[in-house]
Structure formats: C-alpha cells, structure tokens
A = this chain, B = another copy of it.
C-alpha cells in the first residue's frame, strides 16, 4: 500500500466537549484549506520534512456519554465563547455530521457524581465488571477501525477529569493486574479501562487529562508488549505552560521565588466538573509539581480553579510571583493569561495524534518521551523546562525515518 493512501482514525473519548468538537472541526477545516495550521506544533517549518499524517487522512470517531453532535458542540462553543466563525462551521458541517455517526455512548462503570450528572439517562451501556467494560470498549474501537479500513487508530482521552487514583500492588505488573481483573478484585478508573482496551487492541493512546489513563506500570508493560506508544498526561495549555518557561528563568538568574499564586477562572464544562473537590484535586496536583523540580526548592504555592459561568470556554489565569533578589529585595511579576481552552488544546490533540501514529510506525512502543513538551506531568520525563522538553522533540523528529 502506498503511503499516500494511508487512512488513520482519531478516537476521541469525550468527543462532544469543547476540545473534541474543536479538534473535529479543526481537522475538517485544515483538510479543506480553510485555515492555516497556526497553533499546531507539528506544522512548524522545522518539522516540514517529517512524515506526519495530513489532515485529509483522518477519520474521526469517539465516545461520549451525552447525546449530541460535533456540530452542536461547536455551535455551543461559538454561542458561549464567541470563537469559531460561522462560515467555517457551515463548510465543514457535512463532514462533522458524518463523523458524528461514528460516536457511541460508551460504557459507564461506577462513575462518580459529577460525571453521572452529565450522562444522558439510559444512553450509555453500564458494565458489571472491569473486564466487561474493557471488552465492550474494545469491540467498539475495533469496529470503527474495520468499518473505515483504517491503517492505524489513536485513542485520545478528552473526558472530564477524574478524582485522583492511587495504584496498589495489583497495578504494578501486567500479570498481576490481569489476574486481579480476572478475580474482579481490583479497581481501575474509567480512563484506565479505556486505556487498557485501546492498548490491548494495538491502538496508540494519548491522555489529555490529569486522570490516571495509561499511567500504571502494568499498562506501560502492556503497551510495550503490544507495540503501542502511549503519551500523557494533562495537556499544558496556559498557566503551566507559562510556568515551564518562567520558573527556569528565575532559576537561571538565581532569583529566589518566595511564593507563586495562581488563580484560574473559567466557565466551561471542565470548570463545572472541577467544582467537585474530588475531581479538582487531580488537577491542582499536576499544576503544582513543576516548581519544586525546576527551582530545586519548594516555594509557597497556591493554585485555585473556580467556575465563572460568564466566561464560557475562556480561561483567565492570574499569577502572582513574589521573588527575592539581591540584598533581600522583594520584587513581583504578575501575569494575566486570557485564552480559550478548546482553541488552545485542539491543535495539540492533532499534534499528539500525528506524533503517536508516527511513533507507532517507527516501532516505538511504551511511553513516548518526545511528547513531554505537551504535558503538565510528562510521563517518564522529570524535566519541566519547556526548552529542554522541546529539544527532546526536535531530536526525536530529526531522526529521518522509521527505526525498525
């Protein structure tokens, strides 16, 4: 089969959120040349030689517990947040509707309150055991690949953030996890059930959220076994992106950060789900880890996230950095970031999909370290300095072709 005929699938778990809708619209718009690929890292001139999949090769599908459509998700975003012009939507409407036909309600297994509230009653399948859940999900993924004759599929977790999940001994090895699953004596968060299903089926897996996903030793083992690249976690789109360049600046000037306070306000569904303190905990945890690593000490830090309905998908982050300079002098840097979450995230979803698909073709299985620059908690990469992370990506992509 010639490379030009390659067809790839992008499966969005949480398809009808702002990120899912924008990603689908973005792929359709790029495929039609309606917009330049501003915001796509993989479209940087320095990566022009890399064999990434063109937008025209993508088929989109996904899971969502709500009954909606890609077009409705985009219209909702437009109405609440005043982004995306009407003409782009109009031209892409038919494509979006075609992809909406690929979206299934998904499988619910012991969801928590905030998630249940979003689910349309009687719509999603409820699994009795984790093993059942994995199998049901996997059947749907495989059916998608078969129906569209896809050469590769990448599964992307864009669902709402789950509460923190602390792994046990059972999650340490694949054999241990499989045995415990068989006995039904182990719990896995929904995101990890989906990750298991994808990886075992041989599909690349990307986790955009702070949820657990594939970040379990047993699942990394499975990924290596199945030749599947996995990447995560928690997309770095705003405040943490800024921290990943500003904290190194303070470190390199030997300026002592005394306190770093971040206050985030946003009005989208993500904000509503984060209003549940259990779900918020995961988020604050990943937003806060960077400073100690980069600075080499732990300044006082606070991160708050509040739901402010009028903002829609716009997130305003206000950061107050108090630092000490020479001779005990205290000084201040303040930042105000006003960005639209879905608009910032969607191009990175396309980037990660392209990167994971490329990695799989190159025979790279397991954690994809080259993707560190995209994430707040880059799996397997201790360095949070964006410059160093980006250099890892450059090095990976400089490698001319498939390794195998």
In the complex, are the beta carbons of B322 and A311 less than 8 A apart? Answer: yes
In the complex, are the beta carbons of B339 and A38 less than 8 A apart? Answer: no
CA distance A44 to B329 in the complex (A): 18
- The majority secondary structure among interface residues of chain A is mixed
In the complex, are the beta carbons of A328 and B35 less than 8 A apart? Answer: yes
In the complex, are the beta carbons of B39 and A255 less than 8 A apart? Answer: yes
Closest residue on chain B to residue A393 by CB atoms: B252
Q: Interface range on chain A: under 10, 10 to 19, 20 to 34, or 35 or more? A: 35 or more
One of A126-134, A174-182, A197-205, A383-391 contacting the partner: A383-391
> B residues within 8 A CB of A329?
83-84, 340, 343
In the complex, are the beta carbons of B300 and A327 less than 8 A apart? Answer: no
One of A103-111, A151-159, A240-248 contacting the partner: A240-248
Copies of this chain in the oligomer: 4
Closest residue on chain B to residue A337 by CB atoms: B333
In the complex, are the beta carbons of B310 and A325 less than 8 A apart? Answer: no
> B residues within 8 A CB of A39?
253-255, 325-327
Known contacts A22-B326, A304-B263, A385-B387, A242 near B252 by CB under 8 Å: no
> B residues within 8 A CB of A85?
327-328
Known contacts A249-B386, A386-B249, A326 near B304 by CB under 8 Å: no
> B residues within 8 A CB of A241?
249, 253
User: When the two chains form the complex, which single residue of B84, B309, B388 contacts A300, counting CB atoms closer than 8 Å?
Assistant: B309
CA distance A108 to B311 in the complex (A): 46
A331 at the interface (CB under 8 A from B): yes
Q: What 1/0 flags go to A75-93 for Cβ under 8 Å of B?
A: 0000000111110100000
> B residues within 8 A CB of A254?
37-41, 43-44, 347
In the complex, are the beta carbons of B326 and A344 less than 8 A apart? Answer: yes
CB distance from A342 to the nearest CB of B (A): 9
Going nearest first, the 8 A-B pairs with the smallest beta carbon separation are A387-B387, A258-B310, A39-B326, A245-B245, A334-B336, A329-B343, A263-B263, A326-B347
